[in-house]
């Protein structure tokens, strides 16, 4: 059984009157890969800075192993951080960058040597020890930053968007690399990212945040398959989010038609948000479907086609491996397991409509690719 090592208790952070973190309660288990996931300015970096000790909560407590550490400065905390832009020391070579923490701990020269070389081997930078850090590529600098943090054998490693500055290919490689290192070193990783794919691929636990609040905590499967509200459903993967009415347990009404589902526990005739993932919709002949609509746009994505279908003015995104032409009439079927019911929230009606499909995609793409400098400024 994994044990809890860090806890944030009722943590609020506010600058002037702006609330950055709103009463966060969160605990971190030993040896866990936990990801704080959310858009720019959601408070994820602030949360990390609370744990690192670079920021004190306006109210609430930070506990390490049950001991309050609010007033413990960063250099006395047994956690290490990998910073967004690496923050390598430009005046030191690779070896000295990695040895920095060990020298401060006043280890013997021979032990420093062994541990640094061992660490450089783990991050595949053997032979680079005398290189200037400024002469390294982004990926290599990233590895030096990882080595510099891990060589101190921390119990917890904090990672602030560590892959944000790398290109897609390198990012994918480093994801696997980081996961491997985490498992090999057997320590806790607290990982901050705005990239949902990264979060799903690496994490044991995902904490979805927005507007300084925790929206959902769960395993990658849980947050994907059972999002708590429209924000989570939209942020993690693609979702069609529809207005529905819960007729009774296991029956939901969408567009005036009743669908069987597997959710229960709602009040009779309670308005709800219904999530249907684009890959879970089965396309059939118009007369054989529960609903029918017209294809308005088709985009080839490699593995599948993104098809936008107009159902009575509400546009859905459907992902299919078969080609459909624009203007084609199609019918759809949805299995009970593919329908996920959520309670109405402040996010209802804001997400999950593909009427402005192209704009939405642009938004998503730019969020994925833009460096999170904005985020940093917001939260610094």
Partner 1 sequence: MRRRYLAAVPHVIWMAVFVVVPLILVVIYAFTSATGGFTLENFKNMGSYMNVFVRSLWLAFLATIICLLIGYPLSYVLSKEGPGMQRVFIMLIMLPMWINFLLRTYAWMSILENTGLINRLLSSLGIFNLINRIFGTNITYIPLINTQGAVVLGMVYNYLPFMVLPIYSVIVKIDPSLIEAAQDLGAGSFTVFRRVILPLSLPGVLSGITMVFVPAVSTFIISKLLGGGTSILLGDLIEMQFLGNAYNPHLGSAISLIMMIIIMICMYVMNKFGEGEEQAVIM
- Choose between 273 and 379: whose C-beta lies nearer to partner 1: 379
- Choose between 73 and 265: whose C-beta lies nearer to partner 1: 73
- Whether 219 and 204 have beta carbons less than 8 Å apart is answered as yes
- DSSP class per residue in 71-121: T--GGGSSEEEE-TT----TTSBHHHHHHHHHHHTT--HHHHHHHHHHHHH
User: Contact between 105 and partner 1 (CB under 8 A)?
Assistant: yes
- Please state, in angstroms and rounded to a whole number, the distance separating the CA atoms of residues 115 and 99: 8
Nearest-approach distance from CB 71 to partner 1, in angstroms: 15
User: Contact between 83 and partner 1 (CB under 8 A)?
Assistant: yes
Q: Considering only 48-56, 116-124, 241-249, 352-360, which stretch makes contact with partner 1 by CB under 8 A?
A: 48-56
User: Contact between 188 and partner 1 (CB under 8 A)?
Assistant: no
Nearest-approach distance from CB 45 to partner 1, in angstroms: 12
- Whether 151 and 101 have beta carbons less than 8 Å apart is answered as yes
- Choose between 105 and 284: whose C-beta lies nearer to partner 1: 105
- Choose between 92 and 166: whose C-beta lies nearer to partner 1: 92
User: Contact between 148 and partner 1 (CB under 8 A)?
Assistant: yes
Residues 2, 25, 59, 134: which binds partner 1 (CB under 8 A)? 134
User: Contact between 90 and partner 1 (CB under 8 A)?
Assistant: yes
User: Contact between 130 and partner 1 (CB under 8 A)?
Assistant: no
- 3-state helix, strand and coil shares in percent for the chain, rounded to the nearest 5: 30, 35, 35
Q: What are the structure tokens assigned to 16, written together?
A: 């002037």
- Choose between 75 and 169: whose C-beta lies nearer to partner 1: 75
Element at 300 (helix H, strand E): strand 291-300
Residues 19, 72, 87, 165: which binds partner 1 (CB under 8 A)? 87
User: Contact between 66 and partner 1 (CB under 8 A)?
Assistant: no
**Which spans in the chain are helix H?**
44-52, 94-104, 109-122, 138-150, 168-185, 196-202, 220-225, 230-235, 357-369, 373-379
Residue bearing tokens 């498992």:
183
- Please state, in angstroms and rounded to a whole number, the distance separating the CA atoms of residues 71 and 55: 10
User: Contact between 229 and partner 1 (CB under 8 A)?
Assistant: no
Strand order in the sheet with 257-260: 257-260, 251-254, 240-248, 270-276, 339-343
Residues 74, 138, 286, 331: which binds partner 1 (CB under 8 A)? 74
- Choose between 54 and 311: whose C-beta lies nearer to partner 1: 54
**Measured CA distances, 166 to 38, 84, 129 (Å):** 19, 11, 22
User: Contact between 89 and partner 1 (CB under 8 A)?
Assistant: yes
User: Contact between 54 and partner 1 (CB under 8 A)?
Assistant: yes
Judged by CB under 8 A, how many residues of this single chain contact partner 1?
27
User: Contact between 371 and partner 1 (CB under 8 A)?
Assistant: no
**Measured CA distances, 107 to 102, 110, 126, 147, 152 (Å):** 6, 8, 21, 17, 11
Nearest-approach distance from CB 140 to partner 1, in angstroms: 16
Task: Using CB under 8 A, list all residues that contact partner 1.
Answer: 52-54, 73-76, 79-81, 83-85, 87-91, 100-101, 104-105, 132, 134, 148-149, 152
């Amino acid at each position: 059984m994994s044990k809890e090592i860090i806890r944030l208790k009722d943590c609020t952070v506010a600058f002037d009157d702006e609330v950055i973190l709103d009463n966060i309660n969160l605990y971190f288990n030993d040896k866990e890969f936990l990801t704080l996931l959310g858009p720019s300015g959601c408070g994820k970096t602030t949360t990390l800075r609370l744990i690192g000790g670079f920021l004190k909560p306006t109210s609430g407590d930070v506990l390490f192993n049950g001991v309050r550490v609010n007033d413990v400065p960063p250099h006395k905390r047994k956690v290490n951080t990998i910073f967004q832009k690496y923050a390598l020391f430009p005046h030191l070579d690779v070896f000295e960058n990695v040895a920095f923490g060990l020298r401060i701990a006043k280890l013997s020269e021979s032990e420093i040597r062994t541990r640094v070389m061992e660490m450089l081997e783990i991050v595949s930078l053997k032979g680079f020890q005398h290189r200037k850090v400024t002469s390294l590529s982004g990926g290599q600098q990233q590895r030096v930053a990882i080595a510099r943090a891990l060589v101190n054998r921390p119990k917890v490693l904090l990672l602030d968007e560590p892959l944000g500055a790398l290109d897609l290919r390198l990012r994918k490689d480093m994801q696997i690399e980081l996961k491997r290192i985490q498992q090999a070193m057997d320590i806790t990783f607290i990982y901050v990212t705005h990239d949902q794919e990264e979060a799903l691929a690496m994490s044991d636990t995902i904490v979805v945040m927005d507007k300084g609040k925790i929206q959902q905590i769960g395993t990658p499967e849980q947050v994907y398959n059972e999002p708590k509200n429209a924000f989570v459903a939209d942020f993690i993967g693609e979702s069609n989010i529809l207005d529905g009415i819960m007729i009774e347990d296991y029956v939901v009404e969408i567009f005036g038609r009743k669908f069987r589902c597997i959710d229960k526990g709602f009040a009779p005739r309670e308005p709800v948000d219904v999530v249907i993932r684009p890959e879970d919709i089965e396309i059939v002949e118009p007369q054989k479907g529960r609903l029918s609509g017209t294809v308005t746009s088709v985009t080839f994505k490699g593995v599948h086609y993104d098809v936008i279908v107009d159902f009575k003015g509400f546009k859905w995104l459907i992902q299919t491996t078969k080609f459909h032409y624009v203007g084609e009439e199609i019918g759809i079927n949805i299995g009970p397991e593919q329908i996920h019911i959520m309670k109405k929230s402040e996010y209802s009606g804001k997400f999950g409509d593909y009427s402005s499909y192209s704009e939405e995609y642009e938004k998503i793409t730019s969020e994925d690719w833009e460096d999170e400098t904005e985020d940093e400024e917001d939260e610094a």
